[in-house]
């Protein structure tokens, strides 16, 4: 089966029926200044993302991650939703979406006004203690890290989708990390699913339930390279639920799609909303 390249008008015809579930990926946030992993300027072209095994097993790697993430978080925290995020929120407010699942960890769907977003891979604005399970806000951790590193600053040349930046070894070496204050020394980790880590089973089942009850699975800005997101496309295809994909470049789900649109999401999604509004569907 081969995905059929389509127009925004054809996409509007599919979305107009309602009960669509959105599955979004990093490509939706690139126009907010956050790069994707596998696009033309993707982070994987520069470096390998941190894995759970390396983070928990290597103190030097953990220091490197937090030094880089401490500076990268400033960019993530300042990022604003783009036209694509706002279009998704608009579609939800008009009752055309029955759910939003995102592989992103930047919180931009919610900042644009989307509700009840399932964050498949967690969120960078929370931090968890791997010893006692305590959660704290990223703003609180940022305050503590600033206190521990009052003179730490460095030139940021590139930011990665998981919120860290490229830094020199000399900059990393002078950075001090902090531990959990609740249990007195537990290892802190961003409340996101690292590469090599498993998405919580309950969260996965919640996403499957949404997909299984949908009339349409609308994939936005994901290459579907890893099974974490692609499994929902496979489930939809198995159940005969149409899949529509909007992405710049090919994806590993194209062969299961009823329709594909290869174009910038910041252009396609506002046009989709405009067409639906004109037709009276989203009025």
List the catalytic residues.
Answer: 121
Q: How far apart are CA 212 and CA 231, in angstroms?
A: 12
Nearest to 47 by CA among 170, 162, 152, 197: 162
Q: What is the DSSP letter of 5?
A: B
CA 57 vs. chain centroid, Å, equals 25
Nearest to 269 by CA among 67, 71, 20: 20
Indicate the CATH number of 1-34+81-121+198-283 among 3.40.50.1220, 3.20.20.100, 3.30.390.10, 3.40.50.11890.
3.40.50.1220
pLDDT (0 to 100) of residue 162: 62
Q: How far apart are CA 95 and CA 81, in angstroms?
A: 20
Contact between residue 245 and residue 265 where contact means Cβ atoms under 8 Å apart: no
Is residue 207 part of an annotated ligand binding site? no
Contact between residue 43 and residue 35 where contact means Cβ atoms under 8 Å apart: yes
Is residue 160 part of an annotated ligand binding site? no
List where CATH 3.40.50.1220 sits in the chain: 1-34+81-121+198-283
Is residue 261 part of an annotated ligand binding site? no
> Does the CA dihedral 248-111-218-159 come out positive or negative?
positive
Is residue 248 part of an annotated ligand binding site? yes
pLDDT (0 to 100) of residue 156: 63
pLDDT (0 to 100) of residue 44: 41
* Residue 275 token pair: 């067409």
Is residue 103 part of an annotated ligand binding site? yes
Contact between residue 35 and residue 47 where contact means Cβ atoms under 8 Å apart: no
The model carries a pTM of 0.90
Nearest to 103 by CA among 88, 120, 91, 89: 120
End-to-end Cα, the chain, rounded Å:
35
Please name the residues in contact with 246: beta carbons below 8 A apart, sequence gap of 6 or more: 11, 218, 219, 220, 221, 260, 261, 263, 265, 268, 269
pLDDT (0 to 100) of residue 141: 97
Q: How many CA atoms lie within 13 A of 83 on its CB side?
A: 11
Render each residue's pLDDT in the chain as its tens digit; 283 residues. Answer: 445 678 999 999 999 999 999 999 999 999 998 877 544 444 444 457 789 999 999 999 999 999 999 988 888 888 999 999 999 999 999 999 999 999 999 999 999 999 999 999 999 999 999 999 999 999 999 999 999 999 988 766 666 666 667 788 888 999 999 999 999 999 999 999 998 899 999 999 999 999 999 999 999 999 999 999 999 999 999 999 999 999 999 999 999 999 999 999 999 999 999 999 988 765 4
Q: How far apart are CA 118 and CA 113, in angstroms?
A: 14
pLDDT (0 to 100) of residue 161: 61
Cα–Cα distances (Å) from 269 to 80, 100, 107, 232, 247, in that order, read 17, 15, 19, 21, 11
Contact between residue 278 and residue 94 where contact means Cβ atoms under 8 Å apart: no
Is residue 265 part of an annotated ligand binding site? yes
Is residue 105 part of an annotated ligand binding site? yes
């Amino acid at each position: 089966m081969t995905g059929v390249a389509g127009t925004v008008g054809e996409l509007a015809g599919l979305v107009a029926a309602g009960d669509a579930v959105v599955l979004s990926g990093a490509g939706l946030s690139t126009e907010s200044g956050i790069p994707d992993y596998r696009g033309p300027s993707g982070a994987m072209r520069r470096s390998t993302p941190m894995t759970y095994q390396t983070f928990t097993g290597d103190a030097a790697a953990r220091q490197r991650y937090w030094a880089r993430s401490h500076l990268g978080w400033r960019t993530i925290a300042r990022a604003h939703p783009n036209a694509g995020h706002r279009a998704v929120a608009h579609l939800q407010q008009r009752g055309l979406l029955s759910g939003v699942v995102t592989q992103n960890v930047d919180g931009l769907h919610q900042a644009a006004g989307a509700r009840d977003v399932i964050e498949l891979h967690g969120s960078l604005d929370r931090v968890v203690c791997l010893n006692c399970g305590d959660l704290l806000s990223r703003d609180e951790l940022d305050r503590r890290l600033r206190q521990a590193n009052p003179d730490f600053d460095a030139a940021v040349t590139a930011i990665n989708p998981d919120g860290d930046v490229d830094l020199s070894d000399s900059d990393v070496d002078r950075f001090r990390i902090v531990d959990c204050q609740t249990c007195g020394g537990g290892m802190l980790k961003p409340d996101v699913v690292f590469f090599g880590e498993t998405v919580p089973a309950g969260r996965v089942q919640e996403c499957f339930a949404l997909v299984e009850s949908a009339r349409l699975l609308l994939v936005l800005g994901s290459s579907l390279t890893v099974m974490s997101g692609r499994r929902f496309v496979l489930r939809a295809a198995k159940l005969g639920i149409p899949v529509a994909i909007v992405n710049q470049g090919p994806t590993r789900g194209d062969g299961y799609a009823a329709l594909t649109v290869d174009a910038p999401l910041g252009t396609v999604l506002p046009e989709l909303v405009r067409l639906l509004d004109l037709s009276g569907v989203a009025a």
